[in-house]
Structure 1
């Protein structure tokens, strides 16, 4: 084998042999530095493992959220590896300084920043959402026509499960730049329905019947906030009452309470003999109309 390599070496042209000898000399010269760089990277690997073990424990003791812990781990891991690789590069190649690396990376980083502008925007928006915590996992929110329960908040997107079961994955930049309505920010939510009674009914009696019916519903929290019944307007066929009460803040609580209140008010008005009118229409004609009965009577005569 050595004879074959010797013959192959002798066959090579002189300039190529000189170039290969220069490469080999340079490799043996930097080999100790490469070994030291690899040893340093192994040390960085151990440091990263230690940080990933200690940091979650410390953050859990501080009662930080799981998503924020994951972000902190990611940032710490990326930061340690980035610094480790830069230092290892300077160990392996002493002629390269960290300043030169940062200067070269600055130009490339600017191009990457322009190319990944949306991704970086969503990343920093996710960090702000996780740190400021305007809404949490489990909250019901509404933003830009998306309404549902927050299932996951990551550094790039937020998962919202709508009331019909579908999951919307939306970029964090949308929640950071646009108004977000947090439906479950409190334990209670105000709900309103409109109830009409006929013009021939007594308004005060109707108000009392409606109020008693609403208070009797178990999902109405009149122990916390009072039920409010107001005569609202003279409508086409009825006097409309604005019926307002407080119930649970989730969409299901609101729908269930609305169902019970509407049924209770309808039943109470029926039992009291108070009419909930159908729309009335009065038709007027320019000329008198002859009815069928009158026409038959005239024909019989």
Structure 2
């Protein structure tokens, strides 16, 4: 009897809930319809704000911010209205009170999301960079595709997409390569020590200005940078417009090719490879330990310092020593070679 009573009570309760749901079903359907109306109005309002600010580049990012904020506000209002239809006793103050009680927990749980959201709003308002700008952030470089309230996406030059949180962009250094209309490019060229530096600088300027992509204002220049181990390094600097990556690469290709043609091919100015000087030690058993008879980089000042041998003579000498050790040579020939 107790089990049957429990089953009957449970069935009555389920039936009452079903009846309540059927009674509330029109309100639920109406609430869903109202919410979708607010949702589509919010999207239309966002597009309207973006369209009104599209013609003004300075106000474009501000329009994006205002559009997204307006969309969020309208959707939130639609949610309140829908809840009021489903639950007539619901009040906005109840939700505010609930959020006030759990605000600390929500703040800790969504701290990163809120940081990225606020950073995205500040980036859109202050405009350190804009969509289609080319930026460098840490190890990433590419073109800005979109600036959202949570993250910014860039398209790398090799066709990859990088998603960077806005808080990272806002709190770290970002290089904007397209911030200005013109950009300066530089490249170092090494010439031989025996070449005329002034003549090389003049020829390099001629080569730079022979490229159509190089701007005449600001002017290009060439500066002696350093006296390196095997060359005199000269830095060539020129300006291009527009300052995008593809223009940088095309300009470098044309200018460097023109400099090489002008210096090396047409005027015979040396573009030396790195060189190294090797000093052979004329050290034998007779002169071992006697600094007055050894040539180790610098003569010791004695007239008896032996003359340096040629490489072929040194190799021949090594072969003869090896043959002598094997019993195939004569000490007389070795002594004759020592006197040469």
Whether TM-score is above 0.5 comes out as yes
Point out 4+ residue stretches in structure 1 off by more than 6 angstroms: 34-38
Native 8 Å contact 1:237 1:280 kept in 2: yes
Query: Which of residues 277, 284, 293 in structure 2 aligns to 1:282?
Result: 277
C-alpha distance after superposition, 1:37-67 (max 9, x if no partner): 9767755654554454345324412333585
Residue-by-residue CA offset, 1:158-177 (whole Å, 9 max, x unaligned): 21111222211121211111
Q: Do the aligned partners of residues 281 and 35 (structure 1) sit closer, same or farther apart at CA in structure 2, a change above 3 Å counting?
A: closer
State the TM-score, normalized to the length of structure 2.
0.70
Which residue in the other structure is 2:236 paired with? 243
Match of 2:225, SS? strand
1:56 counterpart residue number:
47
Is the Cα contact below 8 Å between 1:149 and 1:160 reproduced in 2?
yes
Q: Structure 1, residues 85-142: CA drift from partner, whole Å, max 9, x if none?
A: 5644773x2xx65434322222233322211221222222222222333222211101
Pairs aligned (count): 283
Provide the TM-score with structure 1 as the length reference: 0.78
- Classify the secondary structure of the residue corresponding to 2:239: strand
Unaligned runs of 5+ in 2: 55-59, 282-293, 296-307, 318-332
Matched, 1:83 2:80: yes
Query: Residue 60 and residue 205 in structure 1: after superposition, are their counterparts in 2 closer, same or farther (change >3 A)?
Result: same
Provide the rounded CA distance (Å) in 1 between the counterparts of 2:196 and 2:225: 15
Residues 49/275 of structure 1: CA separation in 2 closer, same or farther (3 Å cut): closer
Change (3 A) 1:285 1:101: same
When residues 152 and 51 of structure 1 are mapped into structure 2, their CA distance, relative to the original with a 3 A threshold, is closer
- Asked if structure 2 preserves the Cα contact closer than 8 Å seen for 1:52 and 1:73, the reply is no
User: What secondary structure sits across from 2:277 in the alignment?
Assistant: coil
Partner of 2:255: 261
- Which structure is larger by alpha-carbon Rg, 1 or 2? 2
| Separation of aligned partners in 2, 1:190 and 1:178 | 24
> Of 202, 209, 213, which residue of structure 2 is paired with 1:208?
202
Calculate the aligned-residue CA RMSD, in Å: 3.7
Instruction: Work out the CA distance in 2 between the residues paired with 1:179 and 1:258.
Output: 26
Contact 1:37-1:88 within 8 A present in 2 as well = yes
Instruction: State the match for 1:6 in structure 2.
Output: none
Give the number of the structure with larger relative contact order, counting CA–CA contacts within 8 Å between residues 6 or more apart: 1
Contact in 2 for aligned 1:48/1:80 (Cα 8 Å): no
SS in structure 2 of the partner of residue 184 of structure 1: coil
Q: Contact 1:247/1:254 (CA < 8 Å) preserved in 2?
A: yes
Partner-residue secondary structure (3-state), 1:148: strand
